Amino acid sequence: MAALGVQILRSCSSSRPRFHASLYPSADFRTRSVYLQKLNNKIATEDLKLKQETAATEEAPGNEGQGLVVAKLLAIAEAVADRANMHAIIGAQRNNWNHLLTNSINSIALVGSLMAGVSSMPVGGATPQLLPLKIASVLLLSTATGLMLIVNKIQPSQLAEEQRKATWMWKQLERSIHDALSLRAPAESDVDDAMDKVLALEKAYPLPLLPGMLDKFPEKVEPTRWWPKLRQRQTETQRGRRNGAEGRNGWSEELEEEMAGLLKVLKLKDEEQYVTLGKAALNINRALATAGPIFAGLATIGSGSIGASALGPLPALLAVAGGSLAAVANTLEHAGQVGMVFELFRNNAGFYRWLQEEIEANLGEEDVEKRENGELFKLKLALQLGRSLAEFGDFVPYATASCKEEDIKVCAGKLF
């Protein structure tokens, strides 16, 4: 580069200024160029030294094991992110199944009933011409019966809800792993905990349809369990939190009474409430899943019996009414997403069961320094239950042994 020097020359004989340009660099410019070059060299040298110091630190014997733990957690986090994407895609697909199959089965059943009704109309000597309608009606109604049996077995709306919940839990696990990496130096126990959570999630929400699908009509309704057995451990952050409540890691006798009362309310009211609702939804779903194929099967039999003089108009009535009732039962079950409602109730019961185990794990640990910080634990529970911190005092009367289930008039959770 060169500086353009411009000089203004004023002639004695003329008052108009003249400009003179020079392409030679000025001395001031050469001085600045040398300074910038030295500055760039100095920055490059410092950067090289910093890289060498970082590499030496990473290769130190004490940090080799730490780097391996971080690498394991990053590998688990990457796999967890992939699982979340897979469950999200499968969930959208199974939600489409529910809509498409519901509309298709209803259309097939209603068209079959219509054909059965038309084929039963007396038209004199044109009975042979109506035989194709009768055959088509039998085929359509038998197809609707078979599809209902399959769809009622797999429950697409419930499958979609399982995948939505699984996607949420996988994303939550990924965030927890990254939080552990950013807040503190991870330990080998963090790797074990992450693997246990991965296996528990895979068991709670299996990805394949067959085999391994969850039972859609269980004999006993149990809360969903997507977490491993809680283990007592003392992390660096727990050892460092010794504030509040006279140095007892944030715990006090009042807080323990609040947690004991909350635990009883969660067990006797919140969890029991959703288990009862789950049982009601399951019974309704079972009744509709049984009634739909029965109505469609009766309609198929009636359609095949049209034309029998001994039965009169009964076959036609059975075909038309049975097909219509089958479509109604199928709509109530799948368009109403009764299976999804049952799964939602079961997941909510599982949420309150998880909170119970969290409280029991902390109260069961006699050494308060090994518990989670009491103030932080109370804050987390308040956020998860939709309550303020001051409202936890309302649970203290329920902590006594004399308190019975009928004495508890409120639920702990306010979010759902």
pLDDT reading at 35 higher than 60:
no
Check residues 112 and 5 and name the one with the higher pLDDT. Answer: 112
Residue 312, pLDDT score: 78
Q: Which residues fall within 8 angstroms of residue 102, CB to CB, at 6 or more apart?
A: 151, 330, 331, 334, 335
Residue 143, pLDDT score: 96
How far apart CA 285 and CA 268 sit, in angstroms, is 26
pLDDT reading at 43 higher than 90:
no
Residue 240, pLDDT score: 43
pLDDT reading at 369 higher than 70:
yes
Kindly write down the DSSP assignment for every residue of 101-144, as one continuous string: HHHHHHHHHHHHHHHHHHHTS--GGGGGGGHHHHHHHHHHHHHH
Check residues 129 and 258 and name the one with the higher pLDDT. Answer: 258
In this structure, how many other beta carbons lie within 10 angstroms of the beta carbon of residue 197?
A: 21
Average pLDDT score over residue span 181-206: 91
285-335 per-position pLDDT tens digit:
999 999 999 999 999 999 988 877 778 788 899 999 999 999 999 999 999
Residue 196, pLDDT score: 94
How would residue 247 be classed by pLDDT, with cut points 50, 70 and 90? low
pLDDT reading at 209 higher than 60:
yes
Q: Please give the model's pTM, rounded to 2 decimal places.
A: 0.78
Average pLDDT score over residue span 260-277: 93
Residue 13, pLDDT score: 42
How would residue 347 be classed by pLDDT, with cut points 50, 70 and 90? very high
Residue 9, pLDDT score: 40
Whether residue 17 has a cis bond before it, omega within 30° of 0: no
pLDDT reading at 279 higher than 90:
yes
Residue 36, pLDDT score: 53
Instruction: List beta partners, residue 19.
Output: 8
